[in-house]
Every structure is written in C-alpha cells, then in structure tokens.
Amino acid sequence: MISPLISLMEDHVSTLREAGVDAAYLNSSMEPEEFQQAYRGIRHHAYKLCPQPRSG
C-alpha cells in the first residue's frame, strides 16, 4: 500500500516536472537506484529547496 503522503509527493513532483521545474522527492518506498539518483541531485544542488513556513 502506498501512503497518501507519498502519493501526494509523487503528484506534486510530476506536476512540477510537467511545468519544466527540476523536482524530486525521497521516500522509503523508492528503489535504491531511484533514491540514489534523487539524492545525488540534492547533493549537487540540482534542485532548489523550498521549506514550508511554520504555522502557529
């Protein structure tokens, strides 16, 4: 079973990629090579990190 949050991340990244934005996500259900590829992109600054503002 895929968690709703993982599915949401996948949908968001897919939408961003369709809009021409380099995007990736990391989660525990990814294949090792897929995870390593996304992690390498993060380490090499291929993506901009967009932290969410804290509420409250």
Q: How far apart are CA 24 and CA 40, in angstroms?
A: 11
Angle, CA of 51, 54 and 18, to the nearest 5°: 35
What pTM did the predictor assign?
A: 0.71
Give, for all 56 residues of the chain, the pLDDT tens digit: 568 888 899 999 999 999 999 999 999 889 999 999 999 999 999 988 766 667 76
CB-count burial class (<10 Å; 0-12, 13-18, 19+) for 27: middle
